[in-house]
Amino acid sequence: MTCILSAFITVNLAASDQADQADFFELSLGELANFDVTGAAVRSLNLNKRPHSNNPHRLNNQLISASVEVVDRKTIEARSLKNVVEVVESMVGVLSGESPSEPYSFSTRGFSRNSINVLYDGLSMGMSTLNMRPKNTFNVEQIEVAKGVSSLTAEEGGAGGAGGSVNIISKKPQLNQATAIDVLTSYGRYNTSSTNVGISSAVNEKSAYRIGVSRYSSDGWVNNTDSSTLETTASYLFAPSDSFNITASLNYEDDSLPAYWGTPLVPASVAQDADGSVVSTEDNRVIDKATRYVNYNVADSVIDSTSLWSRIDMNWTLSAATSMQATIYQFDADRQWQNAESYTYNTTSNDIRRDRLLIEHERQIQGLNLALNHGFGNENLKHDLVIKLESSENDFTRITGFDMNAADFYDIDSVDLYTPQAGVFGDVDQRQDKQIKTLNALVLEHRVSIEDAWFIDLGVRAEHISFDRQYIQFDGTIRQRQSLDTNINQMSYYLGLMHPISSQHNIYLNYAMKHDPIENDIKYFYDLSNFKPSDVNQWELGLKSVFNEDRTELTLAIYDIEKTVDYQSSDNAALKTNEQTSQGAEFAIKHELNAQFRIGGNLAYTDAKYGHYYDPEWGVDASNNRPVNVPESMLSAWLSYNTIFNLPIEMGLGYNRVDKRFANTENTTVLDEYQLFNVFVAYKADDYRLGFNVRNLTDEIYAPWSDTFYPDQVVLGSPRTYEISVRARF
C-alpha cells in the first residue's frame, strides 16, 4: 500500500462519492455561482438535502433514522464563521474548547474529547486530541455532525465516538463550469486579518479543477500570542464517461497557534480585581481580571504543525441499481509543542510556578476503502444493500521532553503574577513513544422499505485491529506494563426504524452498540496486558418535520447513552468497571415569518453522570459525579432581517447561553454559565458582499472549556472583537 500511495504522491478515493453529492453536482451553473446568502444566518436544518455523514443509502436527511446536523456554505458565509470550531458550536448542544494542548476538542451528548471523532471528507484523522487543528472555512462546503454512535462507516479503528462525529466537507470542482474566482478578505481587532482566493474552472467537458489558498493571522488578544494559518487545496476531476469519474486532491496546512495556555486561579484575598463569576472553587480561588491579558509562556514558545492530505476518489455507475466507490488516501502530519504550560499560584512566594514541556508528533495514516451499493426489490418491498471494506495503517511517533534534573517537573521557575519575565525554554531530556495500528473492517448496511411507509435499517461492522504500542522511558528501556502488542476483533451493530407519519413529519427510533477509540481507553489500565475495549450503547427516538410550505423545519431527538470500560487502578489490582451515562433531549427549529424576517434556534438538555467511576488520570473516585465540560443545558437563537429601507442590507443577531460545567472529575471546580451576543450587518451587491461583525458584544469574561491536565488555570474566551469583510465572486 505504501508503494501505491507514494506513486500517487497524494491519493484518496473517498467513500463520500459523486453519487452521494448528487444534490450538489446537479446544481445549475447559475445556482453554483449564486452569491445570495440573504437570510442564511438563520440556518436551514437541511432536512430536504442529502448529508454525506451516516448516509450510506444516499437519502435526504428527513429519511435518515438518526440525528445528523448540517451547516452549509451559505450559513458559514452569512455569519462570517471563520473556522470549523465556530461552525460546530452553532449546532445543537455542541461545546468546544481552545486548549493549545489539543486544539480543538468537542463535547456533546454528555461525552467529550476523544469520544468525538473528527473526519475530513469522511475519513478519520485519528484521535481528536492528537490531530485536530484550527481549520479555516474558506475551502469548506459544509460541516456535519452525526450525533451519538449511529454511524458504522468512515471510522478510524472503530473510533465511532460515544458523542458523535464531526465531518468537514471540502469544496469540489464541477464539470461544465465557467471560470469562477472567489475572493474573501477581512480585517478586525487585534490586527486579525484573512486573505482567501479560490479559482475553479472546467478544463473541458470531461474535466475540471479547483485551487484554493487561505491565510489567517492575528496578534492575539493576550500579550505575545501572535498566530497564523496557511491552507492550500487543489483538486482535479476527470470524468471520461457518464458512468465513471476520478478526483485527485491535495490539502496542505501549516499553522502556528497562540501561545496562550491559560490564566491562573488565585486566592480571592490576593487578587487586585477578583471576578468570582467565571470560575468557582471550593478553596475560593478566582480569576484576577488584572491578569486577563497576561501571558506566562516563554519567549521562544512553539505550537506549530504541518499536515498533508492526499487522496484519489473513484466512482463507477455499473447500472441503474448498482454503483461502486473506491478511495485511496494518505495523511501526514508533524506537530511541535515547546512551552511553559502549567501556571500555579504559590501562596508562599506570591508568584507563579511554571513547568517546561516539549512534545513532538509524527503521524502517517494510509488506507484503502471500497464500497458497493446495490438496490433490488419491487414497489412494495425495496432493498438497498451497502457493502464496504476498509483497510488502514496508522503510524504514530511521539517525543516527550522534561527536565529530568529538576526536583519537580512542574516547578522549573517562577515569574511575577502581574509582570512576568518570559525567559527561555532551555534544555530538556527526551523520550519516545511508538504506536502502530492496522485496521481491516467489513461493514454491511441494509435498508428495507415496506411500501414506502416503514423503513428498517440494519447494520453490522466487523473489524480486526492490530495494535502495537511501545512506551520508551527516559533511560531508553521499555516500560513493559505500558506497552501493548495485541490483536483485537470486535463487532458493532445498528438497528433503525423510520416511519413517515405524514408527508411532512417523520419519526425514527434507533439502537446502536459500538466502541470508543482504543487509544482513549488504554488510559484506564495500569497494566495494558489486561486491556479490552469499551462498549457504548445508545437508544434514540426522534422527529424530523418540514411543513408550512417548507418555511418551517423542526427536529427533536431524545437519547440514552451508556459507556462501560474496565479499569485497573494499580499493579495487581482487580479489574473493575467504570460507567458513564447520559440521557437528554435536543430541539432545533427554523421559521421564515416572511420574505424578510427569519428566526431560528435550538435547545439541548443533558443529564450526564458517572456511575461507579475511577479517574485514572488523577487517581480519584468520581462516582456519581458529572463529567467534565458537560453543561446541563445549552440555548442558541438567531434572527435576521433583510431589505432594510428597501436597500440590499441585512442585519442579524445571535444569542448563545451555556450552563455551568465542572472543570474536574472531582466536581470541586465550576466553570460558571455565560451568555454571548453576536451581531452583523451586511450590504450585498451583484458581485460582492460587505459585512461587519461584532462577536461577544457585551465583552463577557468567560471560560468555555476545561483542560483537566491544567487544574490551576483556565483558558478564557476571547473578549469583544469586531471585523469588516469583503467577499466577491467573478
685 bridge partner residues: none
Q: What is the rounded CA–CA span in Å between residue 638 and residue 678?
A: 9
Mean pLDDT is highest, among 125-129, 133-137, 289-293, for 289-293
pLDDT in tens, 326-348: 999 999 999 999 999 999 999 99
Task: Retrieve residue 394's grid coordinates.
Answer: 496508522
- The residue-averaged pLDDT of 555-575 equals 91
Could you tell me if 522 and 474 are in contact, meaning their C-beta atoms sit under 8 angstroms apart?
A: no
pLDDT at 27: 44
Burial of 476 by CB count in 10 Å (0-12 exposed, 13-18 middle, 19+ buried)?
exposed
Q: What is the rounded CA–CA span in Å between residue 472 and residue 478?
A: 4
What single DSSP character describes residue 418?
A: S
Classify 293 as helix, strand or coil.
coil
pLDDT at 101: 81
**Residue 4 — φ and ψ, nearest 5°?**
-60, -45
Worst-scoring range by mean pLDDT, 26-35, 52-61, 139-148, 657-666? 26-35
Task: Retrieve residue 37's grid coordinates.
Answer: 446568502
pLDDT at 161: 77
Pairing of strands 227-241, 244-256: antiparallel
Please provide the distance, in angstroms rounded to a whole number, between the alpha carbons at the two ends of the chain.
42
- The residue-averaged pLDDT of 496-509 equals 94
Q: What is the rounded CA–CA span in Å between residue 558 and residue 539?
A: 8
Q: What is the rounded CA–CA span in Å between residue 397 and residue 461?
A: 28
pLDDT in tens, 397-425: 999 998 888 878 778 999 999 999 999 99
State the SS3 of 501-520.
CCCCEEEEEEEEEECCCHHH
Task: Retrieve residue 86's grid coordinates.
Answer: 465556530
pLDDT at 228: 95
* pLDDT-based confidence at residue 284 (cuts at 50, 70, 90): very high
Above 90 in pLDDT, residue 610? yes
Worst-scoring range by mean pLDDT, 110-119, 235-244, 262-271, 431-440? 110-119
Could you tell me if 708 and 663 are in contact, meaning their C-beta atoms sit under 8 angstroms apart?
A: yes
All residues at 6 or more sequence positions from 658 whose CB lies less than 8 Å from its CB, including other chains:
95, 631, 634, 673, 674, 675, 704
pLDDT at 154: 54
Burial of 306 by CB count in 10 Å (0-12 exposed, 13-18 middle, 19+ buried)?
middle
- The residue-averaged pLDDT of 257-285 equals 94
Mean pLDDT is highest, among 34-43, 80-89, 669-678, for 669-678
pLDDT at 16: 36
pLDDT at 11: 31
Above 70 in pLDDT, residue 26? no
Q: What is the rounded CA–CA span in Å between residue 263 and residue 23?
A: 47
Above 90 in pLDDT, residue 546? yes
- The residue-averaged pLDDT of 648-662 equals 95
Above 60 in pLDDT, residue 271? yes
Provide the mean pLDDT of the chain: 89
Helix then strand count (H, E) for the chain reads 7, 42
pLDDT above 70 covers what percent of the chain? 94
DSSP string, 659-718: --EESSTT--EEEPPEEEEEEEEEEE-SSEEEEEEEESTT------B--TT-TTEEBPPP
pLDDT at 10: 30
* pLDDT-based confidence at residue 149 (cuts at 50, 70, 90): confident
Worst-scoring range by mean pLDDT, 32-36, 111-115, 688-692? 32-36
- The residue-averaged pLDDT of 112-124 equals 87
* pLDDT-based confidence at residue 1 (cuts at 50, 70, 90): very low
pLDDT in tens, 585-598: 999 999 999 989 99
Alpha helices in 509-570 (DSSP H): 518-521
Reduced DSSP (H G I as helix, E B as strand, rest coil) percent helix, strand, coil of the chain, to 5? 10, 55, 40
Above 90 in pLDDT, residue 609? yes
pLDDT at 160: 58
Q: What is the rounded CA–CA span in Å between residue 26 and residue 178?
A: 15
Residue 530: CA count within 13 A, CB half-sphere = 19
Question: Is it true that the peptide bond before 511 is cis, omega within 30 degrees of 0?
Answer: no
Above 70 in pLDDT, residue 71? yes
Q: What is the rounded CA–CA span in Å between residue 663 and residue 627?
A: 9
pLDDT at 12: 32
pLDDT at 158: 43
127 vs 725 pLDDT, higher one = 725
Q: What is the rounded CA–CA span in Å between residue 547 and residue 553?
A: 7
Worst-scoring range by mean pLDDT, 65-69, 98-102, 143-147, 560-564? 98-102
Could you tell me if 88 and 98 are in contact, meaning their C-beta atoms sit under 8 angstroms apart?
A: no
All residues at 6 or more sequence positions from 68 whose CB lies less than 8 Å from its CB, including other chains:
51, 53, 54, 55, 61, 144, 145, 146, 147
pLDDT in tens, 335-383: 999 999 999 999 999 999 999 999 999 999 999 999 999 999 998 999 9
Could you tell me if 78 and 37 are in contact, meaning their C-beta atoms sit under 8 angstroms apart?
A: yes
pLDDT at 40: 80
Is the full-model pTM beyond 0.75? yes
pLDDT at 404: 83
Residue 110, Ramachandran bin (φ over 0: left; ψ between -120 and 50: alpha; else beta) = left
**Residue 316 — φ and ψ, nearest 5°?**
-120, 135
pLDDT above 90 covers what percent of the chain? 72
Mean pLDDT is highest, among 474-478, 603-607, 687-691, for 603-607
* CB neighbours of residue 488 within 10 Å: 18
Could you tell me if 329 and 11 are in contact, meaning their C-beta atoms sit under 8 angstroms apart?
A: yes
What single DSSP character describes residue 110?
A: T
